[in-house]
Chains A and B, each alone.
Chain A
Amino acid sequence: MLSLKLAWRNLFRNVRRTVLTCTLISSALIVLILVDGIMLGMVDVMVGGITHTLEGEAQVNKKGFRDNFEAELFLDNPEDIEAALAADELVSGYAPRVIVGGMIASSYNTTGGLVYGVDADAEVGVSKIRDAVYAGSYLTGGKREILIGRLMADLLEVELGDRIIITAAEVDTNEITQELFRVSGLVEFGPDEMDESFAFINLSAAQPLLGMDGHVHQIAIRFADPEDAKNSNLPTLTQLNKGEVEALGWMDLQPAIGGMIEMSNYASAIVGAVLFVLTSLGVINSMFMSIYERIYEFGVAKAIGTTPRHIILLVLFEALFLAMIACAVGLLLGYAASSYFETHGVPMGQFEMSGVVVDGNMYTQVRAYQFVTFPIYVTLLTLLAAIYPAIFASRIVPSRALQRAL
């Protein structure tokens, strides 16, 4: 008990040094909390950008369809799949789609693109097509409605209400088929690739156009809990994986994003490691300064019978108290900062990563583990950094330390 009291009081012998060391340790904790929160926010934006924009958190496709979007690779029994998804409590929404590559022409120009035939109501719960409409109106089920990307509209030199012809091949006969549409809305997702080559028509119009009544190419799925989409063994998906049908979560659909998340974890680990090294050096330096100032005192303590073990404990207690004060401050400020940026965001400007446009602020994510695990790490690190100075202090030779007096 006296050792604890002694360690605690020793911290206040040089208040300035204690404050500076605490500031260093608490700063490391604050940065750790913020960096982790930003990384989580970035991953969330990227995953959300991929899954919520159009892809969905999971998809049911015929095997091989996603390789080249070959029109003949459609799902044979979409009703059964939709019935299973409708009955599944884990699924919050699903959207059947027809997807075909075709020629899109206006009176002035022609371009190739990917035409999505979508169920307008179902898409609202799965994708952000409706949210991407910046001019005109979203699909209402009309036979000639079409939404095109902003860049495609520029290329085709069309405006709302202008005519557009879609030319594609029928699924069964490979006969060329054409249909007239009128631009009912303009959409902007962000990535140029999407805004210059994607067009959306109603599913009820797409199926007759391609001669595939009742069939669809893809069913996009949104889960009630987005974490479920990361589970490859989720029954929702495994039960649908039969024969030529494959049901995959976004981690399998977009392995590159999975890699990026892993990379962001590495980035957090690297930032943490650098912080830990710098903080350790600061703590070691501070502890040594403190020991050198008291070297004579340690000599006396050893002379009167304090064992090396007691000296080590004393220095480690000092480090522990230092870490506890720093963590208390770091947690308060870290929580305040992270909460602020969770609400107001960190200004990041505009950038595109893996086809996902991040514009404006990156919002941090506050997680309980950041306020439990990180302080434990920081405390352990401080104790680890104090071991070397503690051993040094325990090895002080009393006769040398006392040379001034004896």
Chain B
Amino acid sequence: MTTVIETRDLVRRFGEGETMVTALDHVSVTIEEGEFTAIIGPSGSGKTTLLQLIGGLDEPSEGDVFLSGTNIAHMSGTELSDFRRDHIGFIFQSYNLIPVLSAEENIEYIMLLQGISEKNRKDRVKEMLALVGLEGLGDRRPAQLSGGQQQRVAVARAMASKPDIILADEPTANLDSATGIALLDVMRELNKQMNMTFVFSTHDQKIMDRADRLIHLEDGRIHLDERRTP
């Protein structure tokens, strides 16, 4: 197994002096390639902060974050942008597609940033739409798609850049139960087929049921790291 994510003594503090809050307190965790991992815990436990630090969206107060062997903890803004573009796929709770672009264009956008040729972009867009079951809907704008369909486009967008890992924040929170299950099945299938690493931050039992690893956070520390067979 290859380690794709490794955090070492990760600390994140917010504020100063008496108002200082420690959101993450010396968290060290290793996630292997192809794992379908859920970070769970009560509100304020540090799930969001850990996901942000793994994704390079925030800078740790102390410690290091290694993604595919590269320490991203202290990269500059532009270096991080490039790194995120090429190595990390994000799926957000509120879909967060660009409303003025069609589903195809939303998926194509990240590949455009990567400098992929037009033909390859178009081919991969078709492939991604097929993977998430949205053939024929590529020319629709987000407002013309259901919540579940929008989140599938977000999954396709996250995978289009062929990232090492996909970070998903509460991806099913805005979906009804059936749609959420269908989406999770799609991601699980992609995980199995392509050996892609997924890390979720979630409260959703459906995700927990499908995860092969549950990292329990409490008060900014890993309370329990549970490997399981879904």
Residues on A lying within 8 angstroms of B by beta carbon are 2-3, 5-6, 9-10, 12-13, 296-297, 300-310, 398-399, 402, 404-406
15 A-B pairs (CB sep. < 8 Å): A2-B108, A5-B105, A9-B100, A13-B100, A300-B92, A301-B98, A304-B109, A305-B86, A305-B88, A307-B85, A399-B52, A402-B57, A405-B94, A406-B92, A406-B169
Q: Determine if B113 and A6 form an interchain contact, defined as CB atoms under 8 angstroms apart.
A: no
Q: Are B100 and A308 in contact (CB under 8 A)?
A: no
Q: Answer yes or no: B124 CB below 8 A from chain A CBs.
A: no
Contact pick for A305, options B52, B99, B113, B169, CB 8 Å: B113
Task: Check A9–B101 contact: CB distance below 8 A.
Answer: yes
Q: Mark B153-169, 1 if CB is under 8 A from A, else 0.
A: 00001100100000001
With A300-B98, A304-B110 already in contact, 15 other A-B pairs whose C-beta atoms are closer than 8 Å: A2-B105, A13-B99, A301-B98, A303-B90, A304-B109, A305-B81, A305-B86, A305-B88, A306-B81, A308-B81, A399-B57, A402-B92, A405-B92, A405-B96, A406-B57
B78 touches A305 (CB 8 A): no
Residues of B near A308 (CB, < 8 A) are 77-78, 81
Identify which of A300, A301, A304, A309 gathers the most chain B CB atoms within 10 Å of its CB: A304
Contact, CB under 8 Å: A6 / B92: no
User: With the chains together, A305 CA to B79 CA distance in Å?
Assistant: 10
Q: How far is the CB of B180 from chain A (nearest CB, A)?
A: 16
Contact B170 A304 (CB under 8 A): no
Q: Is B175 an interface residue (CB 8 A)?
A: no
Contacts of B77 in A (CB 8 A): 308
Q: How far is the CB of A88 from chain B (nearest CB, A)?
A: 66
Contacts of A3 in B (CB 8 A): 112
- Tell whether B28 is near chain A: CB-to-CB under 8 Å: no
Cβ of A404: which chain B residues have Cβ within 8 Å of it?
Answer: 94
- CB-contact partner of B84 in A5, A13, A304, A310, under 8 A: A304
Q: B46 an interface residue at 8 Å Cβ cutoff?
A: no
Q: Which residues of A contact B88 (CB under 8 A)?
A: 305
Residues of chain B having any CB pair with chain A under 8 Å:
48, 51-52, 55, 57-58, 77-78, 81-82, 84-86, 88-90, 92-94, 96, 98-101, 105, 108-110, 112-114, 157-158, 161, 169-170, 201
Q: Enumerate chain A residues within 8 angstroms of B82, measured Cβ to Cβ.
A: 305, 307
- Bound complex: CA A56 to CA B90 (Å): 79
How long is the Cα–Cα vector from A10 to B88 in the complex, in angstroms? 26
A305 near B161 with CB under 8 A, answer yes
CB-defined contacts of B51 to chain A, threshold 8 Å: 406
List chain B residues, Cβ under 8 A from A5. 101, 105
In contact, A297 and B84 (Cβ under 8 angstroms): no
A2 touches B109 (CB 8 A): yes
**A297 proximity list for chain B (CB < 8 A):** 96, 98-99
Complex contacts, A2 vs chain B, CB 8 Å: 101, 105, 108-109, 112
The distance in angstroms between the C-alpha atoms of A310 and B114, with both chains bound, is: 12
Which of B92, B101, B113, B169 is A307 in contact with, Cβ under 8 Å?
Answer: B113
Distance in angstroms between the alpha carbons of A296 and B95 in the assembled complex? 12
Closest A residue by C-beta to B51: A406
Question: Which residues of A sit under 8 angstroms from B84, Cβ to Cβ?
Answer: 303-305
Which among A10, A296, A309 is the interface contact of B100 at CB below 8 angstroms? A10
Which residues of the other chain, B, contact A296 by a CB distance below 8 angstroms?
A: 96
- Measured CA separation A300–B55 after assembly (Å): 12
Name the residue on A nearest B92 (C-beta).
A405
- Closest partner residue, chain A, to B118 (CB atom): A1
Q: Across the interface, do B113 and A310 meet the contact criterion of CB distance under 8 Å?
A: yes
A325 to chain B, nearest CB (A): 16
**A301 CB → nearest B CB, Å:** 7
Are the C-beta atoms of A306 and B57 separated by less than 8 Å? no
Kindly name the residue among A297, A305, A306, A398 whose own CB sees the greatest number of chain B CB atoms within 10 A. Answer: A305
**Which residues of B are found within 8 Å of A399, using beta-carbon distances?**
52, 57-58
* B-side contacts of A402, CB under 8 Å: 52, 57, 92
- Which residues of A have CB within 8 Å of B94? 404-405
In order of increasing CB-CB distance, the 3 nearest A-B pairs are A305-B85, A9-B100, A399-B58
Contacts of A12 in B (CB 8 A): 100
Contacts of A304 in B (CB 8 A): 84-85, 89-90, 109-110, 113, 157-158, 161
The closest CB in chain A to the CB of B169 belongs to A406
Is A405 a contact partner of B169 (Cβ separation < 8 A)?
yes
Q: Considering the chains assembled together, what is the distance between the CA atoms of A303 and B158 in angstroms?
A: 11
Q: State the CA gap A9–B48 with chains docked (Å).
A: 33
A328-B102 Cα distance, complex, nearest whole Å: 28
Chain A residues in 8 Å Cβ range of B108: 2
A290 to B100, CA, bound (A): 14
Query: Given the interface contacts A6-B100, A404-B94, A405-B93, does A303 sit within 8 Å of B157 by beta carbon?
Result: no
- Chain A residues near B58 (CB-CB < 8 A): 399
CA gap between A9 and B100 in the complex, in Å: 6
Min CB–CB distance B129 → chain A (angstroms): 17
Least distance between B156 CB and chain A CB atoms (Å): 12
Closest residue of A by beta carbon distance from B174: A405
- A404–B190 Cα distance when bound, in Å, is 28
Q: In whole angstroms, how far apart are the Cα atoms of A292 and B48 in the complex? A: 23
- Nearest A residue to B170 via CB reads A405
Give CA–CA (A2, B78) in the complex, Å.
Answer: 21
Residues in B with CB closer than 8 Å to A405 are: 92-94, 96, 169-170
